[in-house]
Amino acid sequence: MGFQGHQARKRFGQHWLKDQMVLDRIVAAADLQSSDRVLEVGPGRGALTELLLASPAAAVHAVELDRDLVDGLRDRFGGDPRFSLCQGDVLELPLQLEDGVAAKVVANIPYNITGPLLDRLVGRLDRPVDPPYQRLVLLVQKEVAERIRARPGHSSFSALSVRMQLMARCTTVCPVPPRCFQPPPKVQSEVIQIDPLPSAQRLSPALARRVESLLKQAFLARRKMLRNTLASLAPEPQLQELAAAAGFHLQQRPQELAPQTWVALARGLNQGTDAASADGHDHGDGTGQGESSSGGAGGQA
């Protein structure tokens, strides 16, 4: 049966990666070992799948939404006992492999599901994926990659930047211009490597919840000074003390604060809440947000 006659479908965000150098760099970045089980999201016609199966990886499990590609993928790779395939939506399917947990993820992500998929594969500060994947090598829209790895003060720095950099080491692998795809997309792309931090290096649950709440509150009005966006947390003299202890001033805007500065502020606020509780004056977390978190990972970027 194969793939003859199948056309890339816009509704699935299909753009076939055809550049061999980029394909090779994706596999090299994954650094696959003989013990690795790999989850591939959106194999398409299998250009990357072929290279993954040529690697030492112990298993490659692919998830493909387009049912019209499934038979071709099974025809092409079904003879390899290390290959398995599931047809369906990666945002809804269980991602557990039949013979073990995937250690690494390789994906050419449909750009319209980038935020929800990052939530699914990495999680959020207050709801991290557990256990974390060892490594994710993702082909994403360049704009998203820039937000993930942006530094404080850069125009791309956002709540997503803070969140991802507190959960993982994020580095660029290579740029991917439109000509590397068939059909070419209208945007620039980039391969990014995400190495989630081990569980022992994550923020404590209480601290993670506080940071998430702060990010939601501050970045909803990213152009405003923190004096205004954080005003509901505490009287200004106390806010000034907290800001000084955390290493910033209230005239700054949220995109100017480094991830660890947000952690320092969250820690100071939590210590103040704990002290108030010990005195019999528990005012909650002071944000009016409780423990709720913000929407999809891309929503606050």
Checking DSSP bridges between strand 135-141 and strand 189-196, what pairing results, if any? antiparallel
* pLDDT value at 298 more than 70: no
Question: How far apart (Å, rounded) are the C-alpha atoms in residues 112 and 115?
Answer: 8
Q: How far is CA 27 from the centre of its chain?
A: 19
pLDDT tens string 94-143: 876 666 678 999 998 888 889 999 999 999 999 999 889 999 999 999 99
CA of 180: how far to CAs of 9, 19, 22, 54, 99, in Å? 17, 5, 8, 21, 34
Average pLDDT over residues 148-171: 96
Say yes or no to pLDDT of 295 above 80.
no
Q: Provide the 10 A C-beta neighbour count for residue 203.
A: 20
pLDDT in tens, 211-241: 999 999 999 999 999 999 999 999 999 999 9
Stretch 191-213: mean pLDDT, rounded? 96
DSSP sequence for 98-116: TTB---EEEEE--GGGHHH
Give the end-to-end CA distance of the chain in Å, rounded to a whole number: 42
pTM over 0.75: yes
| pLDDT for residue 133 | 94
Q: What share of the chain in percent tops pLDDT 70?
A: 84
Task: Determine the Cα–Cα distance for residues 82 and 90; give it in Å rounded to an integer.
Answer: 20
Q: For 161-195, how does the pLDDT look when each residue is reduced to its tens digit (9 = 90+)?
A: 999 999 999 999 999 999 999 889 899 999 999 99
Q: What is the pLDDT of residue 285?
A: 44
Identify the band that residue 279 occupies on the pLDDT scale cut at 50, 70 and 90. Answer: low
Give the pLDDT score at 156.
Answer: 95
For 62-89, what is each residue's pLDDT tens digit?
A: 999 888 899 999 999 999 999 999 999 9
Instruction: Look at residue 300 and tell me whether its pLDDT is greater than 60.
Output: no
Radius of gyration of the chain (CA): 22
Euclidean distance between CA atoms 62 and 47, whole angstroms: 12
Question: Which residue is listed with tokens 């290959």?
Answer: 83
How far, in Å, CA of 74 to CA of 168, rounded?
Answer: 34
What integer best gives the mean pLDDT of the chain?
Answer: 87
What pLDDT does 14 receive?
A: 63
State mean pLDDT over 22-39.
96
Q: What is the pLDDT of residue 214?
A: 97
Half-sphere exposure of 274 (CA within 13 A, CB side): 9
- Give the Cβ contact number of residue 199 at 10 Å: 10
Bigger pLDDT: 298 vs 88? 88
d(CA 121, CA 274): 33
